[in-house]
Copies of this chain bind each other. A is one copy, B any other.
Amino acid sequence: MKGRLTFRNATEEDLAIIVEMLADDELGRQRERIEHPIPSTYMKAFQAIKADSNNELIVACCGEKVSGVAQITFTPYLTYQGGWRATIEGVRTSSSVRGKGIGTALIKWGINRAKERGCHLVQLTTNRKRKDALRFYEHLGFKATHEGLKLNLN
């Protein structure tokens, strides 16, 4: 792993490498579209994320190289006496640096960011097909107390 690991908000220039990471696993391959330049739908979504103060797209960089990505959404709820929650989604690390602790560092960074934003809870869902992911998150202290349900509208 070359260089120090740092975290920052993603920029437009990071989009192509982020989409490559999203596409680089069994589930992502079926969902994403790798073209050059990248399809404009990604750019539109990026602009919407950037414009929303309750959404942050974070990249982990080894030196200059973008090696991990995660999106954090901060949401105010009435439940828990009006508590804010952080939801983490779209977590990926580059396959070239896998097993080097970047995913762990990225989630820990997200947890700290959630604390900074005054959240009482961090939540995420993980597809049961991603066998290692559940262990990974439980190791970080998450409890699998909930069923995660999805309804496809397409």
The residues of A with any CB-CB pair to B shorter than 8 Å are 15, 18-19, 22, 28, 31-33, 39, 41-46, 48-49, 52, 54-55, 57, 71, 73, 75-84, 87, 89-90, 111, 114-115, 119-129, 134, 137-138, 140-154
Establish whether residues A71 and B77, one from each chain, have CB atoms under 8 Å apart when the complex forms.
Answer: yes
Residues of B contacting A143 with CB < 8 Å? 149-152
Establish whether residues B126 and A82, one from each chain, have CB atoms under 8 Å apart when the complex forms.
Answer: no
Residues of B contacting A71 with CB < 8 Å? 77-78
Interface of A is mostly: mixed
Establish whether residues A78 and B49, one from each chain, have CB atoms under 8 Å apart when the complex forms.
Answer: yes
* In the bound complex, CA of A73 to CA of B1 (Å): 38
Nearest CB of chain B from residue A89's CB, rounded to whole Å: 6
Establish whether residues B145 and A128, one from each chain, have CB atoms under 8 Å apart when the complex forms.
Answer: yes
Establish whether residues A79 and B90, one from each chain, have CB atoms under 8 Å apart when the complex forms.
Answer: yes
Residues of B contacting A111 with CB < 8 Å? 151, 153
Nearest CB of chain B from residue A54's CB, rounded to whole Å: 6
Establish whether residues B55 and A76, one from each chain, have CB atoms under 8 Å apart when the complex forms.
Answer: yes
Query: Can you list 17 contacts pairing A with B, beta carbon distance less than 8 Å?
Result: A15-B78, A22-B78, A32-B80, A39-B81, A42-B78, A45-B77, A73-B73, A119-B153, A120-B153, A121-B150, A121-B152, A125-B149, A126-B147, A142-B149, A142-B150, A144-B148, A144-B149
